[in-house]
A and B are shown apart, each in its own frame.
Chain A
Amino acid sequence: MQQRMRPNLSELVACAANAVFGLTALVIALGYELGSVRRMGPGFFPVAVCVTVMALAVATAIESLGAPVERSSTAWRPLLFISLAVIVWTQLIDSLGLVPSTVALIVISSLAKPPFRPVSMLLLSTGICIAGYLIFISGLRMPLTLFGR
């Protein structure tokens, strides 16, 4: 029961993030015309929602004070490699085409979950490239090329 007494720090961080999100949006939204009740400007509704988000962030923070602390660790490795894989894919797809971008995506994302399996990865890349070609380029006529633009 001792846990109950201690404020739940990670929960508070989450609430603070919500509050900051609401505040940032509010600052931007105040730049739009508010208008009148009869003819509302583009700023009226966003301002109202921002204020609501901030109020709710405070309320959740108060609520979380009584909640028990749950511990969980963040897995940085998957986060890093999955993000990297997707970013690389978006950078390559328009310039180098489907095959290089997809191979890069699969190789990088595979690093998120060791052990590294070169053979199954190669097979997977080949399979996905073929499937990708058949479904998206040949079948659905997406404006993509296999290699280069």
Chain B
Amino acid sequence: MSDTFLNLGLGFQTALSLENLMFCMFGVTLGTFVGVLPGIGALATISMCLPLTFYLDPVSAIIMLAGIFYGAQYGSSTASILLNLPGSAPAAVTCLDGYPMAQQGRSGVALFLTTIASFIGGSFSIMLMIVFAPMLASVAISFSSAEYFSIMVLALVAASTLSNGSFLKGVTMTAVGILLGLVGTDISSGTARFTFGSVTLSDGISLVALAMGLFGISEILTNLSRGNYTAIDPRSITLRSLIPTRADMRRFWPSSGRGTLIGSVVGILPGTGPTIATFMSYAAEKRIAKDSSIFGKGAIEGVAAPESANNSSVQAAFIPTLTLGIPGDAIMAVMLGALMLHGITPGPQLIINQPELFWGVIASFWIGNLFLLVLNIPMIGLWVRLLTVPYHILYPAMLFFICIGVYSVNNSSFDVLIALIFGVLGYGMMKFGFSPAPLLLGFVLGPLLEEHFRRALLLSRGDLTVFVMRPVSLLFLALTLLVLLLSMRWFRTLPRRFGRKALQRNE
């Protein structure tokens, strides 16, 4: 243990050099900027910067790339809160309450809390990483297809409770989302499904197009049809209006804490960690709240928990990448590639052979998070001013950024048309009380759900009991059942009715 702290000190020494701090700041700034723009994500930016890192030493390189990654995460929250433009599935959860807060003129508070929530989530996860990294990594890897299938079922059912309307409508949207996610080439057989012979569709529907359509374009349509969007009066932006009140903070801390916990537990799962963690933490907040009707209307809890969960899970996602050399997603894979270009092979040997690098990287994560805090809090006032732009100027500009952002992902104008279709669809859905968030999660998890379902059965040679025979899988399925039952009105009133009957009998 003391060794760990000695090494960590070494790490901070490495990371705190002036040069590294500069790269960290550059990465965070660039990341925030591309994160705010719809479309261009961290992945594309990191790939573009990859050749630059050949001229840097490995610690600087990874510090800069990680900075871009954090910055982009934070930037996409900003765009979600201010304009309802989520660049990724986790950011869509931030939209749910962050955007209503902005509409109520509380965008400054929302951004402020997001910054703090991210910092808390990130810091906690880093500490977890310092102490338990190798152990957590082996837990993460022991998850087989059966466990993945079950945790995804849980996430999907939990997400169906996200919307304020009926639970059934939420489940319907999840199922529709799963179906939309299946469009494209089937990962297990290579068959093209629901593509209508279109080669473009054989890679599936673009996630960015779907999210920008369902959230961004549909919101523009809704605002225009209501005609009651009012820009914020610049005079109302005072320092005080940007800072959360004491009552806000009282609601913030417990939510942020719960989000952090969920995030750091779920986040170690390679791949889907952050998405599942954000949706689950939101659903959990809603479930335990005394009055769940405040959600979706600008609840502090609805911003604090998922933001903390997102950042802590993002951080935890580095655990398998660094300790086992098994990256969870494409971004992690590129980071790994960056290290390998420098002749460094992440894996169990990394901590032993190159402690200054391993701990330097971990220290730099924390510094990156700190930088986000320092750089962004003064920026909040500027961001909020974006909303003082009159709507007749704001919405054509937003439309342009949505179009070019969606286009930029695959350089495809077809994707932009897809975004439009989902924009119109999303507008219709909102009118009938169908929420887009569960659809988005279904879309993201649907293909994975199928993949793991099929693979689990392939591995168990067709034995369906595999899902209940493995304890972890069984636990997730049991939790799913509990969430399902709690969503039924008759079940929630059950104890009360039983209580009354028992009372009557006693009399």
Contacts and interface: CB of A to CB of B under 8 A. Distances in A.
A78 B225 contact: yes
B166 interface: yes
Q: How large is the interface on A (under 10, 10 to 19, 20 to 34, 35 or more residues)?
A: 35 or more
B446 to A, nearest CB: 8
A9 B404 CA distance: 38
A130 B34 CA distance: 17
Interface string A63-81: 1000000001111011100
A83 B194 contact: no
A52 B464 CA distance: 19
Given A85-B399, A142-B411, A75 B221 contact: yes
A93 B461 contact: no
B404 A32 contact: no
B417 A74 contact: no
What is the interface of chain A mostly: helix, strand, loop, or mixed? helix
Chain B facing A: main interface SS: helix
Interface stretch (B262-270, B321-329, B451-459): B451-459
Interface stretch (B56-64, B175-183, B246-254): B175-183
Contacts of B193: 28-29, 32, 42, 46
A124 B393 contact: yes
Contacts, number: 169
A105 B395 CA distance: 11
B404 A113 contact: no
B40 interface: yes
A96 to B, nearest CB: 12
B392 A120 contact: yes
17 contacts: A14-B428, A37-B464, A40-B453, A42-B186, A49-B446, A56-B172, A60-B169, A72-B431, A75-B224, A82-B423, A87-B420, A90-B403, A105-B400, A113-B395, A124-B393, A128-B396, A142-B408
Interface of B: 34, 37, 40, 44, 48, 166, 168-169, 171-172, 175-176, 178-179, 182, 186, 188-189, 191, 193-194, 217, 220-221, 224-225, 227, 391-393, 395-397, 399-400, 403-404, 407-408, 411, 413-414, 416-417, 419-420, 423-424, 427-428, 431-432, 434, 446, 450, 453-454, 457-458, 461-462, 464
Given A42-B191, A110-B392, 7 more contacts: A38-B457, A40-B453, A60-B169, A86-B217, A89-B416, A109-B399, A124-B393
Interface of A: 10-11, 14, 18, 21-22, 25, 28-29, 32-33, 36-42, 44-46, 49-50, 52-53, 56-57, 59-60, 63, 72-75, 77-79, 82-83, 85-87, 89-91, 93-94, 102, 105-106, 109-110, 112-113, 117, 120-121, 124, 128, 132, 135-136, 140-143
